[in-house]
């Protein structure tokens, strides 16, 4: 990969050890993927925040970078392993809380915005069409690519952090226009679409290919759900929806393979996801709930009585929570409003064995990352369990 004189100097350590480490990482990535050069980024979003997922090894890496490095573009963080204010109510141990706070402090020293959320595009880090980004978090980067029309690869946490420190990323993959074209047409034949099930069925069928959807008209929140489920069931980092997403070009689909998804595929997806019954935890907000979703939940629950004894979590970002305090008060009589974290990256396995969710992404991760049996329900189905 070609490096400018300035980039060579960073690699030689002239901007300190942290920047040198970051540049080494970018050069290694660039060489692996045969990038020709580094290109400037407008922002970064980092995964690798929860103590449950990065442990002491991750802390060591962050501490060494935080000695003398700083990010030089707007950079945000994925959910951490606990609600930073109400971790005791979540049953988090003091030791876990201490190590988690330390991780967030390290990111803070690096200059990162520490509002921990997987929906930065809803408030703290809003990308624009055509911008080059280095985003980790599979659901967020797919949303940025597909719904916004910004450009990012499916970064890992260290690669995104290195890019944030240098302000550049290797130019390969989805940064190049020719790699953003659809490779398979997905024709949806459904009267009513459950976007978690559709995302799961589509992701399982297409893997990492770029789908071009026909037959759906999703809202912004439904696109968020679809992006997350496809990123988890497959490894989709970019998708197009005819008439909806900015880069969907009907001319680009000629001659492509076509897949049809209908009712039977949704039933098959549901059966695959559902592995348990009698949930001990009912969790909504994967990806983090938006203001509109919180308003919708509050309007459906207002005036109703709480029933059942499963614990209930509504996961969102602190930024979103600050915009709808009255609605959150309604939700609070049905469960806990959990900020900064989610049902996957906090150690729920220490307290629960069966979790119910409406998220296609959470359904994929709950068994392996949290040792949970899973109950899948639509949002309305979950609300019926608690009201």
Nearer to ligand F3S by C-beta: 21 or 138?
138
Output the smallest distance, CB 89 to ligand F3S, in A: 18
Query: Binding residues for ligand F3S, per CB under 6 A?
Result: 78-79, 118, 139, 228, 286-288, 315, 342, 344-345, 361-362, 365
User: How many angstroms separate the most distant Cα atoms in the chain?
Assistant: 66
Nearer to ligand F3S, 20 or 288 (CB): 288
Nearer to ligand F3S, 118 or 297 (CB): 118
Roughly how many angstroms between the first and final C-alpha of the chain, as a whole number? 58
Rounded-to-integer distance, Cα 288 and Cα 296, Å:
14
**Smallest gap from residue 288 Cβ to ligand F3S (A):** 6
- Token readout for 72 is 């030089």
Closest to ligand F3S by CB, 38 vs 382, is: 382
Structure tokens at 2: 């070609």
Q: Which is nearer to ligand F3S, 21 or 359 (by Cβ)?
A: 359
Q: How far is the CB of 9 from ligand F3S (least distance, A)?
A: 37
* Cα four-point dihedral sign 235, 246, 120, 318: negative
Closer residue to ligand F3S (CB): 122 or 324: 122
Residue 371, sorted as left (phi over 0), alpha (psi -120 to 50) or beta, turns out to be left
Nearest distance in Å: CB 377, ligand F3S: 16
Work out the burial of residue 235: count CB atoms within 10 Å of its CB; fewer than 13 is exposed, 13-18 middle, 19 or more buried.
Answer: middle
- E strand spans, 189-243: 211-214, 240-241
CB 360 → ligand F3S: shortest distance, Å? 10
Do residues 272 and 247 make contact, with C-beta atoms less than 8 angstroms apart? no
Least distance (Å) between residue 342 CB and ligand F3S? 3
Q: Which is nearer to ligand F3S, 21 or 152 (CB)?
A: 152
Nearest approach, Cβ of 20 to ligand F3S (angstroms)? 30
**212 phi, psi to nearest 5 deg:** -120, 110
Euclidean distance between CA atoms 11 and 66, whole angstroms: 17
Closer by beta carbon to ligand F3S, 127 or else 287: 287
- Distance, in Å, from the CA atom of 228 to the CA atom of 199, rounded to the nearest integer, reads 8
Does residue 323 contact residue 291 with C-beta atoms inside 8 Å? Answer: yes
Q: Is the dihedral of CA 215, 364, 54, 77 positive or negative?
A: positive
Q: Which residue is listed with tokens 């880090």?
A: 125
Specify the DSSP class assigned to residue 120.
G
Sheet holding 311-316, edge to edge: 336-339, 311-316, 281-289, 354-357, 373-376
Nearer to ligand F3S, 301 or 345 (CB): 345
For 208, other C-beta atoms within 10 Å of its C-beta total: 14
State in angstroms the smallest separation of the CB of 138 from ligand F3S: 8
Residue 95 Cβ, how far from ligand F3S at the closest point, in Å? Answer: 22
Whole-Å CA distances, 258 to 171, 188, 192, 254: 30, 11, 21, 10
Q: Considering the complex, state which of residue 16 and residue 367 has its C-beta at the smaller distance from ligand F3S.
A: 367
Q: How far is the CB of 217 from ligand F3S (least distance, A)?
A: 23
């Amino acid at each position: 990969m070609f490096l400018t004189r300035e980039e060579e100097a960073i690699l030689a350590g002239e901007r300190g050890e942290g920047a040198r480490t970051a540049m080494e990482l970018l050069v290694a990535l660039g060489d692996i993927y045969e990038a020709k050069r580094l290109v400037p980024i407008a922002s970064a979003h980092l995964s690798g925040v929860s103590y449950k997922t990065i442990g002491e090894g991750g802390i060591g890496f962050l501490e060494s970078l935080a000695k003398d490095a700083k990010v030089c573009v707007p950079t945000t963080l994925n959910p951490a392993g606990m609600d930073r204010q109400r971790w005791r109510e979540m049953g988090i141990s003091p030791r876990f809380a201490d190590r988690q706070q330390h991780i967030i402090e390290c990111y803070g020293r690096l200059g990162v915005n520490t509002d921990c959320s997987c929906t930065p595009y809803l408030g703290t880090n809003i990308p624009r069409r055509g911008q080059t980004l280095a985003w980790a978090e599979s659901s967020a980067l797919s949303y940025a690519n597909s719904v916004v029309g910004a450009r990012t690869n499916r970064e890992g946490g260290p690669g995104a952090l290195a890019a944030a420190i240098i302000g550049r990323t290797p130019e390969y993959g989805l940064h190049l226009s020719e790699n953003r074209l659809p490779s398979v047409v997905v024709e949806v034949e459904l009267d009513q679409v459950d976007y978690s099930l559709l995302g799961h069925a589509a992701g399982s069928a297409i893997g990492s290919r770029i789908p071009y959807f026909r037959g759906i008209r999703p809202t912004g929140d439904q696109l968020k759900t679809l992006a997350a489920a496809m990123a988890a069931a497959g490894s989709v980092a970019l998708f197009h929806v005819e008439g909806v997403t900015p880069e969907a070009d009907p001319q680009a689909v000629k001659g492509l393979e076509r897949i049809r998804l209908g009712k039977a595929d949704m039933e098959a997806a549901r059966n695959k996801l559902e592995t348990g019954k009698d949930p001990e935890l009912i969790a909504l907000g994967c990806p983090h709930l938006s203001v509109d979703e919180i308003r919708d939940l509050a309007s459906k629950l207002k005036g109703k009585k709480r029933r059942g004894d499963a614990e209930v979590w509504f996961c969102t970002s602190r930024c979103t929570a600050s915009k709808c305090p009255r609605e959150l008060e309604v939700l609070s009589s049905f469960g806990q409003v959990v900020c900064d974290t989610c049902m996957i990256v906090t150690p729920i396995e220490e307290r629960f064995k069966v979790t119910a969710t409406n998220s296609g992404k959470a359904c994929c991760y709950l068994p392996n990352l949290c040792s949970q049996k899973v109950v899948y329900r639509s949002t309305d189905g979950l609300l019926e369990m608690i009201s």
